[in-house]
Chain A
């Protein structure tokens, strides 16, 4: 179950004078500024590049009712100027340094990043600190940007049957929790958003004691500490930052079923999602077991049980997979996908899926597959070191999901400690159909034309 805690608890507990919270991962240093802003520094000197990210512990699931999309709209408006800087100037300055910048909004976080030559870090911090509390908006820039957001929704969701289907499944899976709302917002609610909604949301959530700074690249911890104190240090904490108050899920008593059709769908497929536990601070074992479960059932077609049973031993499906992402503030989902072979109906595909699950519960994991997954997970820690941006993201995502730096650094060992028995126990708890949504996606049947 999700652990309810003050978003700022870790931040306020430590002062600048305190020793680093942990340094278990090579080249990683963490500390907290006096105003409560958490800082993670990842040193990697291979290239003269720095990735600078500020993550806010606020996402679409923290939006007031009726204002879906406001977190993401605000993210767009954050590029529209401050007392010091004109609309669009932020990105212009980054580009003038040869850098690139962007931002992202999710259920649990909003993040802003720049990738620049490492000697431009100070300038990035100065600008990012400036827009943390000094945003200035006008209708002239805010209104066209709402048009941009609506076009974004048209492009990424409304023209994309897979995205629409996902939105509907999610709305059905979460009975009460705001994870049931799309990050970008429902179109009818986006259309009603205005500049003041964005400014209110900004005032409520953007402050150093609700933010995490992650700097990765050709930097030293001391250098980042000095720059962070210079630029972010003077911003006062906002004592009004509210605890994350999200409606919890009631007990799920009835399995849900969805029928979705769209003319753009060319072939039928089925997705079933179960409500699933996420990584909790100090308690990540169940989530680690689910990582293995997803891989064992639907990792790669050639090695997973669904692939073996439905694509190789029989040709009942053309594609199968399983997905689970445990980094989440509250309960998340575990999903299974099956695209049946031509001529096989969705009810048959669902029966195939249930048969595979029953077989797994009876036979348990293939021990060789289990060992391979363990090796791959271990190696993935090595390959992950090649990508600065994803290393930085890993910390940002985890910390905004309520995890601690210690949790992030313990995660690889916890994954290595998972046993087949852990996986079976987690599967036993997970596969309760009453906590699931099964969606059928089909092409829209041609309209009957009267003769």
Chain B
């Protein structure tokens, strides 16, 4: 077993006293079986948060099998090994363990929390669910009915309609272009064999990432992981092709009977590993970032009361990237709100950022960063995310310095190269007044 200890002191680059005493001591653990994991030992509460990710996610559905990975995800805790669905749930609840299984466009995730005193039993249950799921027909039928129920609800939910419409417009036949739960027809056609294949497509060593935070040491974690993944195949389904974003500017209206229109908008973006990422992140924080103090919130919400909330952000996915945003406005106000979004996009393009804005956002982003690291479960999620983005163990230490180092020239170059007021496309679901749909 190899352990590389790394004391990553994360601190705020603020002018006054720094909270230097909080250190996230990240160890990189490599098990005898060859699995690498990041660990933070935190013995003060007798439990462990374990985060497992496999790259790929629902985008790895086999051709014609849309919905298989989503359905498989929903069935993992419905019986495994010798335990049927109800026996599995009883065993898990009896240990007070919590397992969450989720699939996304680019990843399949498992979040487990269990008490130290029953860790071995909990991990054996977790292993069974991942490696020996039963997929009994009665359970498949029951969970299919639940997924179908979700598909039905999505058809009358304006938020989902807006997102799905945009996804289809932008990504068409690529997996990003359709809902991961599949269609009524594709879901109905899925068989037990499709689910077994879905497991093999998704769970493999060459796409595995692990982080653990809590009451466990490196040696024990190492034993756990080798047991958990002993029979994990080396590789799974090939990753999807990249799909360039190429939606022309304009407005798509989906008529829907609701008092308030839902709006989703986007333009082309940049990948996570683009060298301009930090300036892009900073600029988007000023334009539409989290919290109340960004230009879109100020202009659309605070000054005019046209929405409850609005935001815009970088949305880099593994195989495509956009700058996206969204909000809701009453049907009579939504046209004005959209015009303001366009104006603000143009204003940033033409005027850039003020020194005061840049300084404010740098202070905010660097100050907020160390505050993220509270709570075992939160830290475990951050660490596994860092691994997937290939950020390296020292990222916790260097990230703030890189934000501080962003120059005005870099910001201007990013805005000139990427921010495109004439490239925005809006999807509007509702009965917007005074808004013309463009041909598309």
- With beta carbons under 8 angstroms apart, the residue of B49, B142, B298 that contacts A386 is B49
Given the contacts A382-B45, A382-B47, A302 and B22 also touching, CB distance less than 8 Å: no
Interface residues of A in 328-379 (CB under 8 A from B): 339, 341-342, 368-369, 371-373, 375-376, 378-379
Given the contacts A100-B291, A148-B308, A266 and B152 also touching, CB distance less than 8 Å: yes
Point out which of A145, A151, A264, A388 has the most chain B C-beta atoms below 10 A from its C-beta: A151
> Is B156 in contact with A266, judged by CB distance below 8 angstroms?
yes
CB-defined interface of A85-99 with B at 8 Å, one 1/0 digit per residue?
Answer: 000100110011111
Interface residues of B in 22-43 (CB under 8 A from A): 22, 42
A384's closest neighbor in chain B, by CB? B45
Shortest B76–chain A CB gap in Å is 13
Interface residues of B in 95-137 (CB under 8 A from A): 95-96, 98, 113, 115
Segment with Cβ contacts to B, from A2-10, A46-54, A245-253, A276-284: A46-54
Segment with Cβ contacts to A, from B202-210, B364-372, B386-394, B419-427: B364-372
Chain A residues with CB under 8 A of B17: 119
> Is B293 in contact with A88, judged by CB distance below 8 angstroms?
yes
Chain A residues with CB under 8 A of B298: 88
CB of A196 closer than 8 Å to a CB of B: no
- With beta carbons under 8 angstroms apart, the residue of A376, A387, A443 that contacts B96 is A376
> Is B22 in contact with A47, judged by CB distance below 8 angstroms?
yes
> Is B303 in contact with A144, judged by CB distance below 8 angstroms?
yes
Chain A residues with CB under 8 A of B328: 151, 154-155, 159
Given the contacts A302-B89, A303-B89, A386-B49, A318 and B145 also touching, CB distance less than 8 Å: yes
CB of A265 closer than 8 Å to a CB of B: yes
Interface residues of A in 274-312 (CB under 8 A from B): 300, 302-303, 308, 311-312
- With beta carbons under 8 angstroms apart, the residue of A264, A302, A303, A308 that contacts B156 is A264
Given the contacts A88-B293, A303-B86, A386 and B156 also touching, CB distance less than 8 Å: no
CB of A118 closer than 8 Å to a CB of B: yes
CB of B330 closer than 8 Å to a CB of A: yes
CA distance A318 to B147 in the complex (A): 10
Chain A residues with CB under 8 A of B181: none
B93's closest neighbor in chain A, by CB? A372
CB of B179 closer than 8 Å to a CB of A: no
Segment with Cβ contacts to A, from B189-197, B225-233, B373-381: B373-381
Chain B residues with CB under 8 A of A152: 308
CA distance A321 to B329 in the complex (A): 33
Chain B residues with CB under 8 A of A146: 305
CB-defined interface of A382-404 with B at 8 Å, one 1/0 digit per residue?
Answer: 11011110000000000000000
> Is B360 in contact with A95, judged by CB distance below 8 angstroms?
yes
Number of B residues near A (Cβ < 8 Å) is 75
CB of B440 closer than 8 Å to a CB of A: no
Segment with Cβ contacts to A, from B168-176, B246-254, B255-263: B255-263
Decide if the interface of chain B is mainly helix, strand, loop or mixed.
mixed
Interface residues of A in 425-446 (CB under 8 A from B): 443
Chain B residues with CB under 8 A of A406: none
CA distance A369 to B258 in the complex (A): 44
- With beta carbons under 8 angstroms apart, the residue of A98, A159, A217 that contacts B14 is A98
Chain A residues with CB under 8 A of B365: 98
Shortest B158–chain A CB gap in Å is 6
Shortest A33–chain B CB gap in Å is 26
Given the contacts A147-B306, A385-B45, A300 and B19 also touching, CB distance less than 8 Å: no
> Is B371 in contact with A98, judged by CB distance below 8 angstroms?
yes
- With beta carbons under 8 angstroms apart, the residue of B44, B93, B141, B303 that contacts A300 is B93
Given the contacts A115-B371, A144-B304, A382-B46, A311 and B142 also touching, CB distance less than 8 Å: yes
CB of A186 closer than 8 Å to a CB of B: no
> Is B360 in contact with A96, judged by CB distance below 8 angstroms?
yes
Across the A-B interface, the 10 shortest Cβ-Cβ residue pairs: A98-B367, A147-B305, A379-B96, A48-B19, A302-B89, A144-B305, A47-B374, A48-B22, A152-B308, A154-B260
Offer 18 A-B interface pairs, CB within 8 angstroms, sorted by A. Answer: A47-B371, A47-B374, A48-B19, A98-B367, A100-B290, A100-B291, A117-B19, A119-B17, A151-B329, A151-B330, A159-B258, A266-B156, A312-B86, A318-B146, A341-B145, A369-B90, A382-B45, A387-B377
